[in-house]
A and B are shown apart, each in its own frame.
Chain A
Amino acid sequence: MTDKEFHGLQMYVDLTNLYEDKQDTIMYSMMLYLGSVLLWINYDPFHFAFQYEWTLNLQNHYFYFGVDGLSLFFIYLTTFLMPLCIVFNWTASDKKVFSNYTTFLAIELLLIIAFATTDLLVFYIAFETILIPFFLFIGFNAHRKRRIHASYLLFFYTIAGSILMLVSILTIYTYTGTTDLYILLDRNYIQNDNMEKIIWLTFFLAFAVKVPVFPFHIWLPEAHVEAPTEGSVLLAGVLLKLGTYGMLRFLMPMFPTATIYYTPLVLILSTMGILYTSFITLRQIDIKRIVAYSSVAHMNLCILGMFSGNITAIAGSILLMVGHGLVSGGLFFAIGVLYNRFHTKLIKYYSGLIHGMPMYATFLFILTMGNISLPLTSNFIGEFLILYGLYCSGNIYGLIIGMVSIFLGTLYSVLLFNKLIFGVVREENKKMKDLSFREIHIFIPIVIHVIWMGVYPNSFLDIINTYVVYNFF
C-alpha cells in the first residue's frame, strides 16, 4: 500500500495553508489597519447618520453596511489589535496543520462585518460564525486537556444564548418584512407590549452571555485560561465588546419601552456582577483568571453606565469599552510574555521580576495603572464619565457601587503587580530575559494609545458625542 493511495484528498491540502506566510498576513492586517485609520480621518464628526454606506446586493436582497460613531472605534480596535497578535505569534512553531493566520484573518473579517453591518441577520450570522474559528483556535493551540472543555463552554454558552435571538429576529422579520436597522428604528412595528418585552429578553440574553453579565460569566475565565495569548487578547479586546456593542446598537434603540421597563433588572445584575467578580478576583491564583475576572467587572461597569439613562454615562461607557480593549489586551500580552518565558500562569511561581526585567516591569506598571483607571490613562476618562452620569441621573447606589468597583480594581491590580514584580527573586526566575525588540513593539503602540486616550480624549469624544446625542437624546 503506497502512501499515494492513502491520501486521495491530500492534493487539495494546500488550500488550508493559503495564509501560511506571515509576511503576507501581517501585510493584509496592516492594510486593514491603514484602512481603518483612513476611515477615522475621513469621518465627518458632525454628520449624524451612518457614513461610508455600502450596499450588498445578493439577487435583489439588499444588505446595508455603514459606519457611525459607535462602530468606528470598534473597527479601529479590531484592526489595531490584530497586527499585534500576529507579531506576538511571530516565532510560534509553524508545524501546525492549520495555520493560525487563516483563523486570524477570518476572525478579523467577521468582526469587521459584525461591527459595520446595519442588518440584524447579517449581524447575527457574523456574531455566530466567529465562534467557529475561535473554537478551532482554542482547541488547536492550547496545551491542556481542559481546552476542549473551555472551547465547548465558549461555543455553547454563546449559541444557547443567541439561538432565541434568532427566533426573535425572524419574528421581527415576519412582522415587518425586513431586518434592516434603518427601517426598524423608524417604525413602531410591534404593537404588543408583551411581545416587545419577550423579544427584548431574548436579545438581552444573547448579548449578556457575550459581555458577560453576572450569571452567564462562567465560560469567560475558562476560555481565557485555556486560550493562547492571542486568543485571550482578541477575546477580551474585541469579542466581549460585541455584546455591549449589540446592546447599544440594537437593544436600546429598537426597544426603548422595554429597555426602560427592564432597566432595574439590568442595573441589579450588573452591580452584582461588579461586586461578585471583583471579590472573586482577589482570591485567584492564576494571572489570566485575574485579568479575565477584572475584565468582567469592567464590562459590567460599562453596562451600568449604559443603562443609567444618562447620555454622559453612555458616552463614558463607550470610551471605557475602547479603553478596556486596549488595556486588557496589553495585560494579556504581558501575561503571554511571562508564559513564553516560564511556562506557568500561577502567581506563586513569580517574584522579583523587576531585577531581571525592568522594561517589562515598566510596561506592566503603565498597563496596571490603566486597569485601575488612574488619571491620565484611558480607563479613567470612561469611568469618570460613567460616575458623573450616574450622579446626574440620581442613581446613588450605582454611584457607590461604581466607586467600590474602582477601589476593588485598585486592590487586585496592585496586588497582582506587587506579587509579580517586587520581592525576592525566586530560584525559578533566575534566568529571566527582558523584553525582546519584537515584544517592545507590541507594547509601545498600546501604551501610546492608552496615554493618548487619557490625555486628550476629545479626539474620541467628539465623534462619540454626536452619535450619543443623535441616538439617545
Chain B
Amino acid sequence: MLSILSEHYLILSSLIILCFGIIYKFATHLQFPEINASINVLALLALLSTAIIVYVDSSVHLVLYNSLFVKDHVTLLVEAVTILLAIGILIMTSEYNKREKLPQFEYVILLLFVITSIHLLVTVEELFAFYLILEFQSICLYVLSSLKKNKYSVEAAMKYFIIGSFASILLLLGFSFIYGISGMTNLEDLYVFFIGIKQQEQMDILVCISILLISAGLFFKIYMAPMHLWVSDIYAQSPTSSVIIFATTSLLPFYIIVFKFYVHVFGEYDWIWKTILLITCLTSILIGTIGAMYQYSIKRLLAYSSIANTGYIFASLLVYQSPFFIANGLLYILLYTINSFGLFSLIVNMRYRNEKGEEFQLENIDQLKGLVQQNAMLSVIFAIYFYTIAGLPPFSFFFTKIFLFSSLLYSTQTMWIVVLMAIVTVISVFYYLRIIQIMFFSEGKQNLGRIRMQPQAVCIINVMIVIFNGVFMVYGTPFVTVAQYISFCLYI
C-alpha cells in the first residue's frame, strides 16, 4: 500500500528534479546554463501527475505506518487545493523570477518541498513527526524569503528565521509537556487519554500551559495577532513570488491542523482554547484592520488584511461545535485563498514604469494612479478583487461572510462578536475603497507611468477566478455541500 501515498511520488519527483537541476546546471561544457523553462515544465509535470494520483487514490480512510499517517477526504481536499495553487503559482511567477533574476531552479524545488511538507502536515498524526515536518516546511519558507540577493530580502529571512525558530521551540515545549503528562504522542491516543483524565483537577494547569504553548507556536505560522509583528516586514521585503506561497498555501492546512489539535485532542478542555481563540481572533481582526489603514505599500496592506481575515476564519471555531459551522470556515478559506491568489498574481506581474523609462516592480498603492485610463479591464478585475475581499455585497465573499456571521449568531454568547466584526468590516472597507479610488479617480500627473502585464496566462487565470466568483454567487450550493461533507469527515 506504500506506493499509493502520493507524497512518495511528490518527494521522489522533486528529488529527481533536484538531481537533474544540479547535474545540468553545473555542466561545465555548457557554461552553467540557465534552466528556467525546462525546470518549470518538469515541475508542472510532477504536480499534474501528483494531482492524478490524488484523484485516483480517493480512499475514505487509510492508516499508514503504524498510524503515523492517516489519509482521508480532508487530506484529499488539502492536497488537491495546494497542488492546484502550486500549479497556478508556477505559471504566474516564472515571468517575475526571470525579470528579477531570481534562481528559478531553487524556487521550484523549494516550492515543491513546501507543497510536500504541507501534504505531510495534514496527514501526520504523531506529535514529533509533526514538529519535524513543520520545521522542514519552515526552513523552506525561510530560504524562499531570502531568495533575492539584496539586504531587504536577507533581513526578512533573518527575521523570519529567528522568530520562526523561537515559535517552533515554544511548540516543541508544548509537545513535551503533553508527552510529560501522558507519555504518548499519537493524536488518537491523546484524544482517548484526555477524555479519561478529565476528572483530575491537578492536571488542568499542565494541560492549560501546553495548550497555550502549542497555540503560540501554531498562531505564529498562521499570522494571528499577538504573533503578527513580523508579517508585514516579511511580506514587504521578500520577493513577491515567495510572498504568494506564504499567503496562499498555508491557510487551509493550518485551519485543519488547528482544528485537529483543538477539537480532537483538547476537545474536553474547550474553555481554555476558546478563551485563547476569542482573544487572539478579536485582536487580530482589530489589529489587521487598523494596521492596514494607512499603509502605502500594497504588500504590507495585504499582509495586514490577511491577519484580519485569519481572525475571521478562526472565529468559526468559537461557535458551538457542529460540522455545519466548520463548513462556513472552510468556505471562507476557499474564497479568501482564491481571491488573494488572484490579487497576488496581478501584483507579481505588474511593472511600473516612470517618466524616464525605468521599470520597477509595483510596490506602492500610489503607483496605481490612473490605471483605468491605461488598462480598463485590469483595473476592473483589481477592483472586483478588492470589493470581494472587503466583503461587500453582491460579491461572493459577502456570502461566506454572512454564513460565518449567521453561524456565530446561533449562540447568544457570541452575538456581540458579530456586531464587532460588522463594525470592523465597515472600517476595512475604507482602505480597500481607497485603492479603488486611486485607480479610478486619480488622474494627470503619472500618466507616463505604465503598468505592464506580461503573460497571457495571467489574463486567463484571472478571468477564470472572476467567473468562479460569479458562479459562487448564484450557484454556490455545490461548494457548500462539499465544504459540509469535508467538515463531516473532520468529525469522524
The residues of A with any CB-CB pair to B shorter than 8 Å are: 1, 5-13, 15-16, 58-61, 97-98, 124-125, 128-129, 132, 135-136, 139-140, 147-148, 151-152, 155-156, 159-160, 163-164, 166-167, 170-171, 173-174
Known: A9-B462, A97-B372. 7 other contacts (CB 8 A): A5-B454, A10-B377, A13-B376, A59-B478, A98-B372, A129-B392, A156-B429
Provide a sorted-by-A list of 10 A–B residue pairs whose CB atoms are within 8 angstroms.
Answer: A7-B374, A7-B453, A9-B378, A16-B380, A58-B477, A125-B393, A125-B398, A128-B392, A147-B441, A159-B392
Distance in angstroms from B485 CB to nearest chain A CB is 16
Residue from B372, B422, B450, B454 whose CB has the most chain A CB atoms within 10 Å: B422
- In the bound assembly, the distance between CA atoms of A140 and B405 in angstroms comes to 34
Q: Please name all residues of chain B whose beta carbon is closer than 8 Å to the beta carbon of A1 when the two chains form the complex.
A: 452
CA distance A106 to B429 in the complex (A): 21
A167 near B433: Cβ-Cβ < 8 Å: no
At the interface, yes or no: B267 with Cβ under 8 Å from chain A?
no
The answer to whether A167 and B372 touch across the interface, beta carbons within 8 angstroms, is no
- Are the CB atoms of B423 and A163 closer together than 8 Å? yes
Establish whether residues A174 and B410, one from each chain, have CB atoms under 8 Å apart when the complex forms: yes
Q: Bin chain B's interface residue count.
A: 35 or more
**Given A140-B440, A174-B410, do A5 and B376 touch, yes or no (CB 8 Å)?**
no
Q: Which residues of B contact A139 (CB under 8 A)?
A: 437, 440-441
Contact B393 A124 (CB under 8 A): yes
- Whether A167 and B453, one on each chain, are in contact in the complex, defined by CB atoms closer than 8 angstroms, is no
| Bound-state Cα–Cα, A167 to B404, Å | 11
| Known contacts A8-B456, A12-B463, A132-B387; A170 and B406 CB within 8 A of each other | yes
Q: Closest 6 A-B residue pairs measured CB to CB?
A: A8-B453, A59-B477, A12-B377, A139-B441, A125-B393, A9-B378
**Closest chain B residue, CB of each to CB of A175:** B409
A174 nearest CB across to chain B (Å): 5
Q: Give chain A nearest CB distance to B333 CB in angstroms.
A: 20
Within 8 A of A (CB), among B437-492: 437, 440-441, 450-456, 458-459, 462-463, 474-478
Residues of A within 8 A of B450 (CB): 6
Whole-angstrom distance between the alpha carbons of A6 and B402 in the complex?
39
- Proximity bits, B402-430, A CB within 8 Å = 1, else 0: 10011001100001001100110110011
Say how far A263's CB is from chain B's closest CB, in angstroms.
26
Structural contact, B441 and A148, CB atoms closer than 8 A? yes
Interface of B is mostly: helix
Q: How far is the CB of A331 from chain B (nearest CB, A)?
A: 27
A170 touches B405 (CB 8 A): yes
Are B452 and A12 neighbours in the complex by a CB distance under 8 Å?
Answer: no
**B381 lies within 8 A of chain A by Cβ:** yes
Contact surface of B with A, Cβ cutoff 8 Å: 372-378, 380-381, 387, 392-394, 398, 402, 405-406, 409-410, 415, 418-419, 422-423, 425-426, 429-430, 433, 437, 440-441, 450-456, 458-459, 462-463, 474-478
A129 contacts B394, C-beta separation under 8 Å: yes
Residues on B with beta carbons closer than 8 Å to the beta carbon of A58:
474-475, 477
C-alpha gap A11/B418 in the complex (Å)? 42
Q: Are B409 and A174 in contact (CB under 8 A)?
A: yes
Q: Which residue of B lies closest to A170 (CB)?
A: B406
- Residues from chain A with a CB closer than 8 A to the CB of B406 are 170, 173-174
* B426/A12 in contact, CB under 8 A: no
A11 and B459 within 8 A (CB): yes
Q: In the complex the two chains form, is B458's CB within 8 Å of A97's CB?
A: no
Tell me, in angstroms, the Cα distance from A139 to B394 when the chains sit together. 20
Task: Return the chain A residue nearest B381 by Cβ.
Answer: A9
Q: How far is the CA of A300 from the CA of B418 in the complex (A)?
A: 32
Q: Tell me the complex Cα distance, A140–B443, Å.
A: 10
Chain A nearest CB: distance from B44 CB in Å?
Answer: 21
Structural contact, A15 and B394, CB atoms closer than 8 A: no
Most chain A beta-carbon contacts within 10 A, residue among B425, B426, B477 = B426
- Are A12 and B459 within 8 A (Cβ)? yes
Bound Cα distance A98, B379 (Å): 11
B422–A166 CB distance below 8 A: yes
Indicate which residue in B402, B425, B453, B477 contacts A9 across the interface (CB closer than 8 Å): B453
B372 touches A15 (CB 8 A): no
Is B377 within 8 A of A16, CB to CB? yes
Q: Which of B376, B409, B426, B433 contacts A98 (CB 8 A)?
A: B376
Identify which of A11, A97, A152, A164 contacts B433 (C-beta below 8 A). A152
Nearest chain A CB to B75's CB is how many angstroms away? 28
Q: B226 to nearest A CB, angstroms?
A: 27
User: Please, how many angstroms separate the alpha-carbon atoms of A148 and B378 in the complex?
Assistant: 22
B452 & A9 in contact (Cβ 8 Å cutoff): no
A12 surroundings in chain B (CB, below 8 A): 377, 459, 463
* A13 touching B440, Cβ below 8 Å: no
Q: How far is the CA of A13 from the CA of B441 in the complex (A)?
A: 18
CB within 8 A of A170: which of B375, B409, B451? Answer: B409
Smallest CB separation, B373 vs chain A (Å): 6
Q: Are B380 and A164 in contact (CB under 8 A)?
A: no
Distance of A156 Cα from B462 Cα, bound (Å): 29
Q: Known contacts A8-B459, A11-B459, A139-B441: does B452 contact A128 (CB below 8 Å)? A: no
Do residues B429 and A159 form an inter-chain contact, with CB atoms below 8 A? yes
A97 and B455: CB pair below 8 A?
no
Closest-by-CB residue of B relative to A16 is: B376
Please give, as numbers and ranges, the residues of chain B lying within 8 Å of A16 by CB-CB distance: 376-377, 380
- Are B429 and A9 closer than 8 Å at their CB atoms? no
- In the complex, residue of chain B having the shortest beta-carbon distance to the beta carbon of A127: B393
Please determine whether B419 and A6 come into contact, CB atoms closer than 8 angstroms. no
Question: Nearest chain A CB to B420's CB is how many angstroms away?
Answer: 10
Question: Which residues from chain B contact A151 at a C-beta distance below 8 Å?
Answer: 437
Q: Could you tell me the distance between the alpha carbons of A124 and B401 in the complex, rounded to whole angstroms? A: 14
Chain A residue with Cβ nearest B378: A9
Which residues of chain B come closer than 8 Å to A173, judged between CB atoms? 406
